[in-house]
Amino acid sequence: MTSTPLPARSAKAAAIATMLTATLFIASSLLFAKLAGSGWGAPTPEAALHPLQITAGRFLFGFLGIAGFVALRRPAFQRPALGLHIVRSLFGMSGVGLMFTAALLIPLAETTAISFLNPIFAMLLAVVFLGERVGLLRWSCAVLAFIGALLLVLRAGFEPRPEALVALGAAVLLGAEVIVLKKLSGREPVPQILLLNNGIALLVMMSLASVVWVWPSAKQWLVLGGVGLTMVSAQALFTRAIRLTEASFIAPFSYATLIVSSMLDLAVFGTWPSLRSWLGVVIIVAAGLLLSWREAVREKRQAQAVAAT
């Protein structure tokens, strides 16, 4: 029995609601990571969790969540491109680890904004490694986004902020992950990709985290579970939103993550970005929105061309 497709207007409304829920989970995952790294629930201040252990916890609970789904739904699997999975997992887990580290060092709004650069880096890497062609407007979006990034990673005297550079490194690695994922998508089922990604990253991160491991308290286990399960839930909701309507329509709503993460950071930690940082955030968001509009125009023209043939 197949499900009946939603009418276009209902599908768009459902996609918006789904994407906004995904932004809540993404922001919550960063908040949980910041709680774990700041020592919340730890028996002593020295027992705060290291970013390596937080990242390992993210993939532990992410793997358990996906494995539970696979056990219940039993989707069909096929022979995997193991080399691509390993490369993708290495990029992804390194990017996530740096992003969680950045969340401990700078306001969550800044971490989130810099993470929005990963599609820009993915675009640049696609030009180099996939031979994709990029027009003037997309190059302009990239330049605009990097201007915003400079406001975040440089102080007023053009002195680098090492803590913000950590977030920028995360964006580069996550952009590289997107390139590898492009090669995997369409070749293998999504549950297989997610299960292997989380499984490989879990093995590597648990090995690295063993060097700095401290046994978490019950509250810390709860926070680690929150990191992993909210991130996996966000991935699932994002995928669902993309399937309900056009990616170019729904993508701008992902910027609501900035609002949610800012409010959570202010409520829990009393942290608020500077005016200079907000200017950088606004410029990055403007570049992302312009890029989304460009993609919407391109999709419309392609649809008209297909209809005319």
Lowest mean pLDDT among 97-101, 165-169, 288-292: 288-292
pLDDT-derived band at 248, boundaries 50, 70, 90: low
- The whole-number pLDDT of residue 103 equals 95
Q: Answer whether 223's CB lies under 8 Å from 58's CB.
A: no
- Domain tally, the chain: 1
Residue 24 included in any domain: yes
Residue 1 included in any domain: no
pTM of the model: 0.86
**Residue matched to tokens 């696609």:** 126
- Residue 177, pLDDT > 80, answer yes
Q: Answer whether 35's CB lies under 8 Å from 268's CB.
A: yes
- Residue 130, pLDDT > 80, answer no
pLDDT-derived band at 296, boundaries 50, 70, 90: confident
Tell me what the mean pLDDT of segment 31-59 comes to.
Answer: 94
Alpha-helix residue ranges (DSSP H) falling in 135-246: 136-153, 162-184, 190-209, 218-244
Residue 99 included in any domain: yes
pLDDT-derived band at 83, boundaries 50, 70, 90: very high
Q: What percent of the chain has pLDDT over 90?
A: 55
More confident of the two residues 249 and 275: 275
Residue 209 included in any domain: yes
pLDDT-derived band at 16, boundaries 50, 70, 90: confident
Residues 6+ apart with CB under 8 A from 162: none
Residue 2 included in any domain: no
Residue 94 included in any domain: yes
Range of the domain at 51: 8-308
Which amino acid would we find at residue 45?
P
Q: What is the DSSP letter of 212?
A: T
Where does residue 147 rank: exposed (0-12), middle (13-18), buried (19+ CB within 10 A)? middle
Residue 231 included in any domain: yes
Where does residue 222 rank: exposed (0-12), middle (13-18), buried (19+ CB within 10 A)? middle
More confident of the two residues 158 and 98: 98
- Residue 290, pLDDT > 60, answer yes
Residue 81 included in any domain: yes
